[in-house]
Amino acid sequence: MKRIVGVSLAALSTAVVSTCPLLASTQAQAAVAPLDASYGLSTNTINYGGPATATLVIGGKTYKFKNGTCQSIKVSDIAVDVTLGSVVQGKDGGPVKGNGKKPYFSIDLASSPPDIINDIYYGGKILAESGEISVTGSVVKSGSSKGTFSSGASTGAFSGSWNCHGKFLKH
């Protein structure tokens, strides 16, 4: 009996030690500025939070996004990164089709062009794919950052706006 317990404890400690780097790396990805993150066996969900808002107008329909963060990411030369909603990842760390039907909005406004919109999801559908955008407004490294954008030639016709509503993180 002692031997079985010893083997079981050894196996358990090996399993915990070998999975900790996976958990640490998964949570490190979530440390960008989420409100919370949940980790399961089949998916990981990163839920962003904060006062930032955005809209996307495409095909005559307006989509509104809320609960987001604004931040600058110095190492990437991103003056303003606006991220709202949730990101759903599969167990392999890759994207889940339709983002698990959760809304997601993200734009990266660089210190020098190009400015980028990332894949935008709403209701399980991709509304806009990653590509260049044209930006007007206050692209500043502070909570007063807000403005409008429109699509570049490669992304299809859409427009929208963002507003950081006074809160801004610097990395």
148-171 pLDDT, tens per residue? Answer: 999 965 556 899 999 999 888 876
Q: What is the mean pLDDT of the chain?
A: 77
Reported pTM: 0.73
Tell me, what's the pLDDT at 35?
A: 53
Tell me, what's the pLDDT at 154?
A: 54
Contacts of 155 (CB under 8 A, 6+ apart): 117, 128, 129, 130, 131, 132, 133
100-155 pLDDT, tens per residue? Answer: 999 999 999 987 878 999 999 999 999 999 999 999 988 877 778 899 999 965 55
Contact (Cβ atoms closer than 8 angstroms) between residue 156 and residue 145? no
